[in-house]
Structure 1
Amino acid sequence: MDIFRLIQDIKRHLKLSFDEVDRWFDKDKETLNFQPSNGGWTIQQILEHIYLTNFYLLILIEKGSKKAIRNYQNLDLNIEIKNYSFDQKKFEKVGEYGAFEWIRPEHMEPKGELNLNEIRSLISQQYDQCLDYLDLMKNGEGLLCKTTMTVNELGKINVYEYIYFLSLHAQRHVTQMKNNELETIKNLKK
């Protein structure tokens, strides 16, 4: 496995996902606050949810990266890299809106306590945090710690995969926001 390529691929995916999310902050108020007919979240609520989910995932990523760096002293990184293969197919469904039942914890549900500018700034900081962790573990150290991910039965995943998961989660909600926007446009034409 070319760990350096994996890290670059994750950085590229993060950039695309976060750039797409960021564009939604520039939408007009009507689009941002449109309540879809299915009773789902508004785009503003989705953006807050992305921030909240990132917040909690980054706690796990931080713990994992610290443990991975500590494990570097006791484990053979070269053997880990040699034996590692990234199963991208296992993760693909995470980025697809509606691909499976996803029951999120209550603490990841939007409460409307932050304004759009705050959410945008926080999500931008979260992007930088992800890049910092990837730079910190630039030689493959992220393989040296695995944590259980229950979503879609992913099982034990390493720190790089957690960061990729975070990026896929944002991508999933970009699709949801696009669906909201389409419904908004249809309603305006009526």
Structure 2
Amino acid sequence: MDIFRLIQDIRKHLNLSFDEVDRWFDKNKATLNHRPSNGGWTIQQILEHVYLTNFYLLILIEKGSKKAMRNYLDLDLNLEIKKYSFNKKRFEKVGEYGAFEWIRPEHMEPKGELNLNEIRSLISQQYHQCLNYLDLMKNGEGLLCKTTMTVNGLGKINVYEYIYFLSLHAQRHVTQMKNNELETIKN
């Protein structure tokens, strides 16, 4: 496994996902506040949900990265890199809106307590946090800690895969926001 290529690919995916998310903050108020006919979230609520989900995922990513860096002292990183195979296909559904039932915890539901500028700033900070973790674990150390991810039965995933999951989650909601905007245009 070329771990450097994996880190580069995750960095690229993060960049594309977060750039796409950021563009939604520039939409007009009518688009941002349109409630879809299915009773779902407005785009502003979706953006807040992305921030909240990132917040909680980043807690796990931070803990995982610290543990991975500690494990570096006791585990054979080169052996872990040789054994590792990234199963991208296993993760693809996470980025597809509506691909499977996703029951999110209540603490990840938007409450309308933050304004759009605050959400945008926080999501930008989260993007930079992800990049910092990739820089910290630049030699493959992220393979040295696995944490269980229950969403879509992913099971034990390493820190890099958690960061990729975070990026895919944002991508999933970009599709949802596009659907909302299309409905706005039709009405």
TM-score (norm 1): 0.98
* 1:66 aligned residue: 66
- After superposition, the CA RMSD in angstroms is 0.1
* 1:135 aligned residue: 135
Amino acid at match of 1:23: R
**Percentage of identical aligned residues:** 90
Gaps of 5+ in 1: none
Query: What are the equivalent positions in structure 2 for 1:9-88 lying under 5 Å apart?
Result: 9-88=9-88
Query: Deviation above 6 Å: which 4+ runs of structure 1?
Result: none
Residue 149 of structure 1: how far off its partner (Å): 0.1
Measure the CA separation in 1 of the matches of 2:96 and 2:61. Answer: 22
* 2:98 aligned residue: 98
Measure the CA separation in 2 of the matches of 1:64 and 1:5. Answer: 21
* 1:3 aligned residue: 3
DSSP 3-state at the match of 1:79: helix
Residue 174 of structure 1: how far off its partner (Å): 0.1
Q: Deviations over 1:36-92 (max 9, x none)?
A: 000000000000000000000000000000000000010000000000000000000
Amino acid at match of 2:13: H
Residue 122 of structure 1: how far off its partner (Å): 0.1
Residue 94 of structure 1: how far off its partner (Å): 0.1
Residue 113 of structure 1: how far off its partner (Å): 0.1
Measure the CA separation in 2 of the matches of 1:154 and 1:77. Answer: 23
Amino acid at match of 1:150: T
Q: Deviations over 1:122-176 (max 9, x none)?
A: 0000000000000000000000000000000000000000000000000000000
Residue 111 of structure 1: how far off its partner (Å): 0.1
Q: Deviations over 1:89-123 (max 9, x none)?
A: 00000000000000000000000000000000000
* 1:123 aligned residue: 123
* 1:178 aligned residue: 178
Measure the CA separation in 2 of the matches of 1:155 and 1:83. Answer: 18
Measure the CA separation in 2 of the matches of 1:91 and 1:38. Answer: 27
Measure the CA separation in 2 of the matches of 1:153 and 1:184. Answer: 34
TM-score (norm 2): 1.00
Measure the CA separation in 2 of the matches of 1:128 and 1:186. Answer: 36
| Number of aligned positions between the proteins | 187
DSSP 3-state at the match of 1:100: coil
Gaps of 5+ in 2: none
Measure the CA separation in 2 of the matches of 1:135 and 1:20. Answer: 22
